[in-house]
């Protein structure tokens, strides 16, 4: 019996998060086509325990690293005020990892998002988001 050789189905890119001795690998919560349209909600956010002041190692697969991506976070400072952080744009085949660190040892991460840029740009010149990988942080 002969079977045709077809391409393997392409899966959505995955992102790995490591903190506090635990690793999780998640698929996107939202993923769109290359132009940033035809978006679909895909998977629920992941959950990771990260104590105050701890860093999170983030690793993306080659499909993401070849394009542009960034890390966005929300954390609570010592005064219990929520603040945000954003990494520089990463990727272009050069960045497969990023270390997310909060400014102070008492700061508590609340949420981490990895955003993949689409092939289109907004009127502001910023890239349109193609995909989002979300991790809700527990203490």
Going residue by residue through the chain, which has 139 residues, state the pLDDT in tens, using 9 for 90 and above.
Answer: 444 454 544 678 999 999 999 999 999 999 998 888 899 999 999 999 999 999 999 999 998 999 999 999 999 999 999 999 999 999 988 999 999 999 999 999 999 999 999 877 677 877 788 999 999 999 8
DSSP 95: -
Counted domains in the chain: 1
Say if 63 falls within a structural domain: yes
DSSP 8-state symbol, 108: E
In a domain, residue 73? The reply is yes
Please report whether residue 5 resides in a domain.
no
Residue 8: what pLDDT? 47
Residue span of the structural domain in which 82 resides: 15-138
For residue 94, being part of any structural domain is answered with: yes
- What whole-number distance in Å separates Cα of residue 62 and Cα of residue 47? 23
67 domain-assigned: yes
Residue 50 lies in a domain: yes
Structure pTM?
0.88
Whole-number Å distance between alpha carbons of 15 and 63:
10
* Residue 119 lies inside a defined structural domain of this protein: yes
Our CA angle for 121, 56, 48, nearest 5°, is: 100
Structural domain contains residue 1:
no
CATH number at residue 66: 2.60.40
Integer Cα distance of 136 and 111 in angstroms: 5
φ, ψ at 64 (rounded to 5°): -75, -45
Q: Could you read off the pLDDT of 101-128 as tens digits, one per residue?
A: 999 999 999 999 999 998 776 778 777 8
Token pair, residue 126, equals: 């910023």
């Amino acid at each position: 019996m002969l079977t045709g050789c077809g391409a393997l189905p392409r899966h959505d890119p995955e992102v790995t998060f490591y903190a506090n001795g635990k690793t999780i690998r998640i698929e996107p919560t939202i993923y769109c086509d290359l132009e940033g349209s035809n978006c679909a909600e895909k998977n629920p956010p992941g959950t990771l325990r990260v104590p105050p002041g701890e860093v999170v190692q983030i690793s993306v697969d080659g499909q993401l690293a070849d394009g542009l991506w960034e890390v966005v976070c929300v954390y609570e400072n010592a005064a219990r005020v929520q603040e945000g952080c954003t990494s520089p744009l990463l990727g272009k085949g050069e960045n497969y990892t990023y270390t997310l660190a909060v400014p102070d040892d008492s700061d508590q991460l609340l949420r981490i998002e990895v955003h993949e840029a689409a092939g289109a740009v907004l009127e502001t010149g910023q890239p349109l988001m193609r995909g989002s990988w979300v991790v809700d942080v527990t203490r």
